[in-house]
Amino acid sequence: MSHPQSGCPHPRSLFHAPTRYALQALVRMPGDGTYRLARNLAAELNLPGPFLAKILQTLAHADILESLRGPTGGFRLTRAPERITLREVVVAMEGPEPFEECLLGHAVGGEGCHCPIRPAWDILQTLLTTTLARTSLRDLQAAQSAPDRPEDPDLSVAAPV
Amino acid sequence: MSHPQSGCPHPRSLFHAPTRYALQALVRMPGDGTYRLARNLAAELNLPGPFLAKILQTLAHADILESLRGPTGGFRLTRAPERITLREVVVAMEGPEPFEECLLGHAVGGEGCHCPIRPAWDILQTLLTTTLARTSLRDLQAAQSAPDRPEDPDLSVAAPV
DNA sequence: ATATTTTAGGATATTAAAATCCGTTTATCG
DNA sequence: CGATAAACGGATTTTAATATCCTAAAATAT
């Protein structure tokens, strides 16, 4: 029976679609100071050009990309990919509040939430946040070329970075 | 700037809203064989009656609830709450496929995904799944009454249950 | 200067999720 | 057996997410 009331085509993703597109676009950004065209990038990602352009604009507002108009224009990274974290990108696209505090929908702030899964939920959120914070865009770009699996992540989620 | 294009009211939840409602409703189901009214339950949860009724129907199809029509009718658990797992409820509401395999949107099946965050993502999914599978509805009900924090979850996510 | 190319960004359209409505069926009660 | 009360389930509406469109502004080239 599955979904409440409708056939659901693809499996759910953790973040919104534009966040995925943002990551996919950033991976393809040149490392030198070259500007890249939105239209060009959109074709490569099989996305509608104007839609990707919006996403790139959002990234530009977040100081992850910078833009130049006119011919020879386009978008480029504001910094070296080593200095851009995935967390930064996700925050730019999704906002600073990642998720609700627990599965029953209790709000951030945590008072009055006594779910037994709450501790696990907290750990999940911390692991996700720290992993995103520790991973740079460069790491993501490198992984796209090298098919080798990277090292396992650190599970000691003591201090959020 | 936050969300791509619109003000987002509440923080995003991991699952769909009806899944939360389902959990909230199940927590309030009586432990004896008593039938409980959808309308009654909806009032307690501040939800529209017919909408909650749909959700309860879905749970009934999944053999988590059973229903009886007519006066004296309503819904009740098919089993003792100790024998109903949260995972079962989530699967009933969201379907068996939990999430895409990685943040860049690569599909389940895993070929061609080389994200550096993929290992962490796999661990997150396993931790979530096992935690839900290990937690019974009874645990959830007990936690609602007792304000004490339960023990920390097991992080050795070796074998998915 | 003017034409061309690109991003900027507001407005609109489309689609899926969430919520509602209403006639039907089933059970109980008088 | 008729009246009432409940779940059943299809159809519809509403709202939020996703995608598109179009005019303006800026930079370059001729």
Q: B8: helix, coil or strand?
A: coil
Q: B66: helix, coil or strand?
A: strand
A73 CA from C1 C1′ (Å) = 22
At residue B97, the pLDDT reads: 74
Instruction: Express each pLDDT in B126-146 by its tens digit.
Output: 888 998 999 999 998 888 766
| Residues of A in Cβ contact (< 8 Å) with B8 | 95
- B73 vs B151, higher pLDDT: B73
Residue B95's nearest CA partner among A5, A121, A18, A100 is A5
The residue-averaged pLDDT of B27-35 equals 94
| Residues of A in Cβ contact (< 8 Å) with B58 | 1, 4
User: Mean pLDDT per 10-residue run, chain A (161 residues)?
Assistant: 37 85 95 94 91 97 96 96 96 83 64 72 86 92 68 54 39
pLDDT at B27 over 90: yes
CA angle B32, B35, B39 (to 5 degrees): 135
DSSP character for A83?
Answer: G
- By Cβ distance, the residue of B4, B103, B127 closest to A124 is B127
Output the six-digit token pair for B50: 């017919």
The Cα B2–Cα B11 span in angstroms is 12
pLDDT at B109 over 50: yes
pLDDT at B2 over 70: no
Q: B74: helix, coil or strand?
A: strand
| Chain C bases near protein CB atoms (7 A cut-off) | 4-12, 16-22, 25-29
- B77 vs A103, higher pLDDT: B77
pLDDT at B30 over 80: yes
At residue B63, the pLDDT reads: 97
Cβ pair A12:B54 closer than 8 A:
no
pLDDT at B1 over 60: no
- Predicted TM-score (pTM) above 0.85: no
DSSP character for A107?
Answer: P
CA angle A66, A83, A35 (to 5 degrees): 30
At residue A136, the pLDDT reads: 94
pLDDT at B159 over 60: no
- B6 vs A67, higher pLDDT: A67
| Residues of B in Cβ contact (< 8 Å) with A149 | 114, 118-119
- Quick check: B81 and B31 in contact, CB under 8 A? yes
Q: Hey, is the C-beta of A116 within 8 angstroms of any chain B C-beta?
A: yes
At residue B3, the pLDDT reads: 35
- B66 vs A115, higher pLDDT: B66
Which protein residue has its CA closest to C1' of C4? A71
Residue A117's nearest CA partner among A133, A132, A101, A98 is A101
Output the six-digit token pair for B151: 């023990």
CA distances from residue A2 to A37, B47, B58 in whole angstroms, order as listed: 41, 21, 8
Residue A87's nearest CA partner among A158, A140, A32 is A140
At residue A52, the pLDDT reads: 96
pLDDT at B124 over 70: yes
pLDDT at B68 over 50: yes
Residue B100's nearest CA partner among B74, B121, B79, B117 is B121
At residue A109, the pLDDT reads: 55
Output the six-digit token pair for A82: 């080593």
Chain B residue nearest residue A105, CA to CA: B20
At residue B75, the pLDDT reads: 97
pLDDT at B160 over 90: no
- Quick check: A117 and B132 in contact, CB under 8 A? yes
Output the six-digit token pair for B87: 């995972």
Cβ pair A153:B119 closer than 8 A:
yes
At residue A143, the pLDDT reads: 81
